Structure 1
Amino acid sequence: MSSIDARDVTADPTSTERLATSGLEYRVVDLSDDTRSAAFQRAVDRGFLGAEPTGDMIAQVAKTFAARRNIGVFEPDATDATLPIATTNAWITPLTLPGGGEIDMWAISAVTVAATHRRRGIARALLEGELRAAASAGVPVAGLTVSEATIYGRYGFGSAIPVARLTVNTRRAGWGGATPPGRLEYVDRDTLAADLGTVHERARRQVPGQIPGWQGRWEGYSGVAPTPDRDQARGVRYLDEDGVLRGVLAYTVSEASGTFRFRMDVRLLVAETADARTALWRFVLQHDLVDEVVADLRPLDDPLPWLVADPRGVKQEVHDHGWLRILDLPAALTARGYSAPLDTVLRVEDPLGFTAGDWRLRVDESGIATVEEAHGGSADIELDVSTLSSLYAGGVRASSLHGAGRLTGDRAAIDAFDKALVAFPSPSLDIWY
């Protein structure tokens, strides 16, 4: 939806100057050179404590990184083969919103700082640099998925899209759901990768919080990519009564030591229709020799606990996943739909200044919003940008954050805000980025 290419955005001058005072070079890295590309990828894998990548893995990931804006931090006089001491990359992608619309999001990934260079302000320069770059390009929202949940609130990000990890004891849970029409069929790796991309792109438009995947992601899930566990990858697809592709499942199985009983790990189960989702879950839970199923990044309103005979056979663990950061408040709040009318004044604190101020948010009966600056009056609700960003996708309740002291206002104002913001269906995000 965006005509902006993140690769055209130059390195943030504030972060460049700040790190230069520490003798470090902050720059956009051109990965068209194989040596620089390999060094950058090795630094990313080192940062996430991954194994040293093979040549095939480097070539695979290079295809994805080439489409992104890659930032590296280097010691002075670093050569092309020198690993950066810090990395990040970004691209602009549509984010599905409550009400079915989309907004441009500056997606941030591969944020690493070498353990040898901690506590030198590098992470701050990276994150704030990305936010200033996004704002300079006119992108109203930034987002990321995180390995640590205590870092990003200080930059105005909020945990906005919770998900569930489902662990199923298949012997206890059994199956209590329907048997949908249509059929399931196994597919080879290349077909699985293609089908994942096709169905995900259609299905993600139905659910707030989702973003598009990319070819490298699907090749990783399907076993096309040269990952260590590629030979364990399997996949099936669901075709409806008319033979139309409506759902896809990528999974792996592993044996419980010496028992000839297995655990299935669902890499991705994506469905465009309820029948497709039910059929794929039925396949998973009734698979021969599988005693345990683990599926992470599932939506909080996933029907699986209601499809089994014994719901106590399904353990649900809710955790944070998608984090958002509003950069342009009027653009962000007017892009999404709302579930109830609203007329309120928000007082927003933002340490980086992007959204700070008093804002009047009005929502009409059809769920369409207008936003304007408010001057000279009192505010109905006071909150910081991290809290507002947590609420943005409609998956976190304003009443919960009010109870935690994250926003203030009288009960009537909070209730009205809560009713307007809640989203249906529940927001979800089924990939890492």
Structure 2
Amino acid sequence: MTDNAYTRPRTSLRSRPRADEGPEVRIRSADEWDPWFATLLRAFGGTEASPEGRQLWHDLAEPERSLGAYDGTAVVGTAGALSLRVAVPGGSVVPMAGVAMVGVLPTHRRRGLLTALMRRLLDDSRERGEPLAGLTASEPAIYGRFGYGLATQRIRLAVPRHRVSLTPPPDSGRVRLRLVDPAEAAAACEQLYAARVPLRPGMLERQPGWERLPLLDPLADRNGCSPLQCVLAEDPGTGLLLGYARYAVRPEWDASGPRGTVEVRDVEAADPAGYAALWSYLMDIDLTETVVADSRPVDDPLLHLVSDARRCEARLLDGLFLRPVDVGAALEARRYAAPVDVVLDVVDAFCPWNTGRWRLSGDAKGASCLRTGDPAELALTVRELGTAYLGGTTLAALAAAGRVREVRAGALAAASRAFTGEVAPWLPHSF
């Protein structure tokens, strides 16, 4: 056992509470999917899922990591974890428990069920050796108390295509564009996506089955849009795939003429020429007025291609909320932009095995993070570590908000530089 190892919890995901503890929290059985999923939908307002969406999440959900809160035989709460892998600074792809499908019925709220579900999921993640846990939040205020910090942000863009022009790089004219069936091009697009994952922290490695998610396009969810479309950017000489965009068009007319919207689902490209060519195409679709993209990186190159970024109406939104499950393993898994040698005094009220002092030593080649008895140099909670982990928010910014405390003069500036990333972290899709 190394210095930063921890003792496994005595209770497992499969243990049963005492009868006097209220609803039982346990793993759902395979034949309990329908009532379990119905409870989740009810907790989110009762809107029915499309058959296609229901089937996809049935297939992606892991029964052995799906928890239900049972009041007798009735499912009154749900939560699950997905075995995901996320890119971290330095290019490694690290196991992450993707906390998802969390809901408690209104009849059973404020009884501690959410806390019990979160407790069991994190204990299980620890037993599995996952250094990180992450989630997307319908209500962000809920999850800070469980140690999750906002690690990635995204922007929503609404580009008025007749009032904004693009200035693409000189070689973008060499790119060939080709409309294809999204399903037929899926394998090639997934290969390009996979190559992009290590280049931006926060991106998810799509494991078998997850390639279906970006193609999900049920008629019931289109809200007047066309079926999903896909355009490829290719090198005309070699046929090499340079990028792709998936989108749909929402036709709309008024007395003055067409006012349609291009709703962009995905844009990925291997080089600037392919990226600019794809956006030029999206902004030149006939009978449309606005190009909307709901989730782009905050440092999206598009903002430097357009003639007027102000008119793109960029709106900042939250993305991935992250927390270390094992502080030592998590901080060792990533690389650092500058040499760092700092003692962190970490408080983790929800996962107390992380609480204590940790010496982090690392650089661009590797890192170690071990428990130490040396004096603390920076003091923070695990939530701040989660916020700063992917490099999108600096420790200095958190210190300015009073959430990181510098104990040794100079420690903050050095650690903040080391944690900062070259590109903004970004979660490309929810889970």
1:65 is matched with 61
Q: In 2, distance between residues paired with 1:345 and 1:172?
A: 52
Partners of 2:131 and 2:219 in 1: how far apart?
36
Which is worse superposed, 134-143 or 39-48?
39-48
**Post-superposition offset of 1:399:** 1.2
Q: Which runs of 5+ in 2 are unaligned?
A: 1-10
CA distance in 2, matches of 1:201, 1:194: 11
Distance 1:28 1:319, change over 3 A: same
- Name the structure 2 match of 1:222: 215
Alignment-derived partner of residue 6 in structure 1: none
Q: Tell me the distance in 2 between the aligned counterparts of 1:58 and 1:107.
A: 18
Corresponding residue number in structure 1 for 2:25: 26
CA shift at 1:59, angstroms?
3.2
- C-alpha separation in 2, matches of 1:384 and 1:106: 20
**Superposed counterparts of 1:15-414, under 5 Å:** 16-17=16-17, 20-31=19-30, 33=31, 36-49=32-45, 51-53=47-49, 55=51, 57-66=53-62, 69-76=65-72, 78=73, 84-178=75-169, 179-213=172-206, 218-223=211-216, 225=218, 227-229=220-222, 231-241=226-236, 242-256=238-252, 258=254, 259-351=257-349, 352-364=351-363, 366-375=364-373, 377-409=374-406, 412-414=410-412
Q: CA deviation at 1:218?
A: 4.6
Mean Cα deviation higher: 38-47 or 294-303: 38-47
Counterpart contact for 1:96–1:103, Cα < 8 Å? yes
Counterparts of 1:180 and 1:109, CA distance in 2: 43
The CA deviation at 1:186 is: 1.3
**How far apart, in 2, do the equivalents of 1:251 and 1:320 lie?**
22
Alpha-carbon separation, structure 2, partners of 1:368 and 1:17: 42
More displaced stretch, 170-179 vs 422-431: 170-179
CA displacement, residues 283-329 of structure 1 (integer Å, 9 cap, x when unaligned): 11222222111212211211111111222322222222111110211
Match of 2:4 in 1: none
Return the alpha-carbon distance in structure 2 between the equivalents of residues 68 and 169 of structure 1: 47
Report the TM-score when normalising by structure 2: 0.89
Report the Cα offset of residue 152 of structure 1.
0.8
Equivalent residues of 2:23, 2:71 under 8 A apart: yes
Q: 1:353 deviation in Å?
A: 0.6
CA RMSD of aligned residues (A): 2.3
Aligned residues: 412
10, 13, 26: which is aligned to 1:11? 13
| Residue deviations 1:161-215 (CA, integer Å, cap 9, x gap) | 1121122121111122233422111121422544443332221121111112366
CA change 1:37–1:426 in 2 (3 A) is same
Structure 1 residue 397, shift from structure 2 partner: 1.1
CA 248–402 in structure 1, closer or farther in 2 if over 3 Å, else same: same
2:182, 2:216 → 1: CA distance?
A: 6
* 1:359 counterpart letter in structure 2: W
Distance 2:268 2:135 in 1: 21
Cα distance between partner residues in 1 of 2:387 and 2:250: 37
Post-superposition offset of 1:361: 1.2
SS of residue paired to 1:426: coil
Render the CA deviation track for 1:74-96: whole Å, top value 9, x for unaligned.
111x1xxx5x2111121222211
What is the distance in 2 between the residues matched to 1:264 and 1:144?
28
Question: Which residue identity does 1:332 align to in structure 2?
Answer: A
Summarize deviations over 1:94-123 as a string: whole Å, max 9, x none: 211111112211111111111221111111
